[in-house]
Amino acid sequence: MMLQEFINTNFYRLLMFTLIFGVMFYDTIGFDYTDELCSLFLFILFLKYVFSTPKWEVNKLFLTVTAVFLFYLCYSFYIGSNVKSAILTDFVIQYKPYLGFFCVYAIKPEIPERYRKLVREVCLVLGVYLALVGIGCLISYESLEYTFKHPSRLATAVSVVALLYLYCSDYTTKDKLIFILLMIIGLTSGRSKFYGFFIICAAMVLFVRPSFKLKLNVKNVFIFVVALFMVLFFTYTKLDLYFIGGGDLLTADEAIQDTMARAALYFHVPEILMDYFPLGPGFGSYATYASGVYYSPLYAQYGMDHIYGLSEDYGSFIADTYYPALAQFGCVGVCLFFLFWGNLTLKAIRNFRFIYKESVMILLIVMFFLIECTTDSTITHNRGLFMMMLLGLLFSDLKCSKERLLYGENTCCK
């Protein structure tokens, strides 16, 4: 018990440190390695747990994911996808969120009720701060320069705070309404993808109950159709830009090309997948931070080195999305990525009727990442690390609750 108390206390401190300095004031402080520092502390906690637990249970999925990343690291060195520094940098960045998820899941931390109450209060205070920032954003876009730098970061910060509040709550009607009110703040960001996520959150939290069954009936079809229509209504412009009409825009005049960096990255993904079938061009080669800092030859190879935001002189938009970066790992990597998230989704659905709150929140975080990855590389950034930590915490709770249901309330799974 002493070990678990040590884990619980220090994980709580790390969680709050990551929330404050790795999410809320990350851009204000300007220290770019906060998430790496948090990952290091989390890994130290993981090692402490492993070496102090004689019968530590090895997670097969953790080993599989790690083996896949190490294989692609060796493969990238072998084919020379970029310089060694680029390969190593990209490996660390891409592996970091999964390491965060599995470390939290392995150490099985629990936030005591006295801390949960404090977390809820902190989230409400941060909600007021976010509301003031959001109002300032509506009045003057430039006001974000002193806080989150960009509306998308305001939106994801709102999602983080709202979901953390929901996790630490009792999931009562009052808690759900507070969650929705916190999420409403994100609408001030003007991000269409947040509008879509907000609609999904509202539908899941307000209308999906433990008795809900995934079956074809008038009520379920109606809820699904209304939610889908609203999501498409608010996100159609971006969907058309990146997935439907993006290719046509690449042939337009130079003024339009200057704004089409993301569409260009999507446009060339099928070609890269075919040219580098089946394993892809490797780490540090395409649509990632490392491929921009250590400028990848693929951009010149596919004629993207002249596009504004993707050139060697100005490559600020190179890492602006995540799905195109999957092209680095070829068709195999794309399949493995969606297989991983599909596996998490199925686990949540299978336990939905028995462990309701955790299953709903897991599905919401999966949807968060699937939506965010379309126009941002959030999963590899500071906000993504926090969400992956929260996801690991939810799966730990899910496993614990399931064991208690199967083996009795006195089962000690923490």
Establish if 295 belongs to a structural domain: no
334 within 8 A of 326, measured Cβ to Cβ:
yes
Question: Does residue 12 belong to any structural domain of this protein?
Answer: yes
| Spatial contact of 373 and 363, defined as CB atoms under 8 Å apart | no
| pLDDT per residue as tens digits for the range 376-388 | 888 999 899 999 9
Q: The whole model's pTM is what?
A: 0.89
User: Given a cut of 80, is residue 187 above it in pLDDT?
Assistant: yes
Strands (E), 204-355: none
pLDDT at 413: 58
Residue pLDDT, tens place only, 56-93: 777 889 999 999 999 999 999 999 999 999 999 999 99
- To 10 degrees, what angle do helices 113-139 and 151-168 make? 160
Tell me the average pLDDT across 335-348: 94
| pLDDT for residue 403 is more than 70 | yes
Residue 321 belongs to a domain: no
pLDDT above 90 covers a percentage of the chain that reads 55
With respect to residue 56, please indicate whether it lies within any of the assigned structural domains: yes
Q: Which domain holds residue 63?
A: 2-241+331-407
Instruction: Say what angle helices 151-168 and 382-407 make with each other, to 10 degrees.
Output: 20
Residue 299 domain-assigned (yes or no) = no
Total residues found in the chain within this entry: 414
Would residue 162 count as lying in a domain? yes
The number of domains in the chain is: 1
For 259-306, what is each residue's pLDDT tens digit? 478 888 998 999 999 999 999 999 999 999 999 999 999 999 999 988
**Residue 176 has which token pair?**
């759900």
Would you place residue 43 in the very low, low, confident or very high pLDDT band (cuts 50, 70, 90)? Answer: very high
Q: Is residue 390 part of a domain?
A: yes
Asked if residue 368 belongs to a domain, the reply is yes
Residue 238: band (very low, low, confident or very high) from pLDDT cuts 50, 70, 90: low
In percent, the amount of the chain with pLDDT more than 70 equals: 86
For residue 332, the number of C-alpha atoms closer than 13 Å in the C-beta half-sphere is: 12
The two three-digit tokens of residue 288, written as one number: 């990632």
